[in-house]
Amino acid sequence: MTVRGSGGPKVLLELVAALTLAAACGRGEAPADLVFRGGAIYTVDAARPSAEAVAVRDGRIVFVGDAAGAADWIGADTEVVELAGRLLLPGFHDTHVHPVSGGVELGECDLNPASSIEDVERIIQACVAREPDAPWLRGGGFQLPLFPDGAPSKELLDRLVPDRPAFVTSADGHTGWANSRALALAGVTRATADPPPDGVIVRDAAGEPQGTLRERAMDLVGRRMPPYNHVQTRAGLERALEMAASFGLTTLHEASAGEAYLRAYQAAESAGTLTARVIVALATDPDKGAAQVTDLVALRDRFRGTLVRPSAVKIFADGVIEGGTAALLEPYLDRPGFRGELRWPPEELAAMVAALDQAGFAAHIHAIGDRAIRVSLDAIEAARRSRGRAGGPRHILAHIQLFDPADIPRLQGLDVVASFQPLWAYADTYITELTEPRLGPARSRWLYPIRSVVETGAVVAGGSDWSVTTMNPLPAIEVGIRRRDPDEDDGQAWIPEEQVDLETMIRLYTMGGATAGGLDAETGSITSGKAADLVVLDRNLFEIPPHEVGDARVVLTVFGGRVVFRRDAGR
């Protein structure tokens, strides 16, 4: 459909206006705090997909309709936002994001901007110079494809940081890069075994640790580093919230939090600085199995707020394909016989998901490889069968990169949320150099099959996995439509069969996220009675070429009726 700002037949408008006026006067309603009019409004509410005006009062949407009807809600203190051809949408939802760790990382040595090894060197040297007395050099965000085999060496880091231990993580969070001092402090030598089930200490030809640590092996160094204190996590969260508001995000699914992060969220809510609803997935330890659910329930009870809802639990089913740590049904082509490892043995995963289901938690499962997706669906299927009744929590599979097509219909059948990172669904170097060569063309056809999943009728949601990739939903919405590099205007679509339309992509980032978090009645669409979580974009996405969607900018973000971001003229 097309959403346009212009009105319908004038006579009809006047009639409706008269009726609305009478109704409003009859109720003796107080005026609205905010009224939006004069542009395009796409509501993501099937009962009324578009409107001319929206009114907000006391944090809630009180009117969705025509311009004349909205006029009745305008009083002396009402702020009227003239959309002037711009687009009003429901506030965006990010269904998989790491606000606290990402925000803390922004305050450390941030390698996200680096697009070459020279950039990495320059940034690290600047970080060292900036904090000459810091006991560690810590940071993250480097791109694996910059280094041969995605494995940067300790010698390079020794040269950049000779005087203290250094440990930085990759943008995807599944690989760490340590210098010799950090390895020595952690006692990692040629005698150290790879930590099971999926840890990899990358070694040189002589068997010496080479500097790259994958998955569980990252903990060998990670646990030697001082934990972040409350001031650092609070500051990190505030940075992330500011960024989220600037991207129009009003609901965040924190993808992995322990007690320290929960304290940061709780403090932000108490201080009134929380500018998003937050569904928190509590972190788990595969070694503790289903026994840890009692502790998770206690955490949920302790930290549940109005906006902060620790209603989910994070489980890693596997790792990532580019690191060779995702669990596949068939072997990696570059490692004959090797199919990757599951982080939880299937029977333990099933016991955990069943225990979470019983306790009313949504399992938020990181599942990347087709084997991880299959065992996760098996676990959810078993849990639902043993529950034996309808309702209960809706579980989430996140990332869902590689499918066996036979498993696609199971998402809808089991009422599982399919949580994609649509920004990853184009042929960048992660795909062309580190993924497709390991899978071959036949299996690669089923990478990020967004359209196939949407067509089953499953609940589909979108997330950034920030700080892995940008928190901005608009480039991700564009990639979902085009499956091309969002920075390029033309070129070949990657697996064009899996492209979807703009309405679908907007739904992923609005109602899809709300449903994923059990917030369908509260937010996710522009519907009378719902919370006023809204975003104004600087252009109407429905009237521009698809390759410009990612360039659109948020000009205003409203959370619960409060303006939490307003772009200054000229910014």
State the residues that interact with Zn ion by CB under 5 A.
255, 465
Considering the complex, what minimum distance in angstroms separates the CB of residue 363 from Zn ion?
A: 15
Considering the complex, what minimum distance in angstroms separates the CB of residue 350 from Zn ion?
A: 23
Question: What residue has token string 């990612």?
Answer: 550
Considering the complex, what minimum distance in angstroms separates the CB of residue 362 from Zn ion?
A: 15
Considering the complex, what minimum distance in angstroms separates the CB of residue 562 from Zn ion?
A: 28
Output 357 or 465, the one with its CB closest to Zn ion: 465
Output 255 or 425, the one with its CB closest to Zn ion: 255
Considering the complex, what minimum distance in angstroms separates the CB of residue 465 from Zn ion?
A: 4
Alpha-helical segments (H) within 2-116: 10-27, 67-71, 99-106
Cα separation, 157 vs 153, in Å, equals 7
Considering the complex, what minimum distance in angstroms separates the CB of residue 417 from Zn ion?
A: 15
**Chain centroid to CA 77:** 37
Output 120 or 255, the one with its CB closest to Zn ion: 255
CA Rg, the chain, in Å?
A: 24
Output 322 or 465, the one with its CB closest to Zn ion: 465
What spatial distance separates the first Cα and last Cα of the chain, rounded to whole Å?
31
Using DSSP's 3-state secondary structure scheme, residue 533 falls into: coil
Which of 240, 12, 213, 206 lies closest to 110, judged by CA?
A: 240
Cα separation, 421 vs 462, in Å, equals 6
Considering the complex, what minimum distance in angstroms separates the CB of residue 374 from Zn ion?
A: 20
**H or E stretch at 27:** helix 10-27
432 and 491 in contact (C-beta within 8 Å)? no
Cα separation, 244 vs 10, in Å, equals 40
Considering the complex, what minimum distance in angstroms separates the CB of residue 174 from Zn ion?
A: 10
Cα separation, 431 vs 446, in Å, equals 12
Which of 393, 376, 252 lies closest to 312, judged by CA?
A: 393
Considering the complex, what minimum distance in angstroms separates the CB of residue 96 from Zn ion?
A: 6
What letter represents residue 533's amino acid? D
Cα separation, 351 vs 191, in Å, equals 35
Considering the complex, what minimum distance in angstroms separates the CB of residue 255 from Zn ion?
A: 4
Output 255 or 459, the one with its CB closest to Zn ion: 255
Cα separation, 563 vs 276, in Å, equals 12
Considering the complex, what minimum distance in angstroms separates the CB of residue 156 from Zn ion?
A: 27
Output 95 or 210, the one with its CB closest to Zn ion: 95
Considering the complex, what minimum distance in angstroms separates the CB of residue 466 from Zn ion?
A: 9
Tokens of 163: 């005087």
Output 316 or 403, the one with its CB closest to Zn ion: 316
* Strand spans (E) along 131-218: 137-142, 166-170, 175-178, 200-203, 209-214
CA dihedral 3, 9, 13, 14 (to 10 degrees): 160
Strand-pair category, 200-203 with 209-214: antiparallel
Output 436 or 465, the one with its CB closest to Zn ion: 465
Cα separation, 157 vs 120, in Å, equals 10
Output 97 or 111, the one with its CB closest to Zn ion: 97
542 and 86 in contact (C-beta within 8 Å)? no
What letter represents residue 538's amino acid? D
Output 178 or 255, the one with its CB closest to Zn ion: 255
Output 33 or 172, the one with its CB closest to Zn ion: 172
Output 275 or 464, the one with its CB closest to Zn ion: 464
Considering the complex, what minimum distance in angstroms separates the CB of residue 193 from Zn ion?
A: 27
Considering the complex, what minimum distance in angstroms separates the CB of residue 399 from Zn ion?
A: 8
Tokens of 265: 């969220």
264 and 236 in contact (C-beta within 8 Å)? yes
Output 170 or 180, the one with its CB closest to Zn ion: 170
- Give the list of residues 6+ apart from residue 219 with CB closer than 8 angstroms, or none: 195, 199
Output 247 or 316, the one with its CB closest to Zn ion: 316
**φ/ψ of residue 348, rounded to 5:** -75, -35
Tokens of 337: 């016989």
What letter represents residue 501's amino acid? D
Cα separation, 115 vs 307, in Å, equals 37
Which of 437, 396, 403, 388 lies closest to 419, judged by CA?
A: 396
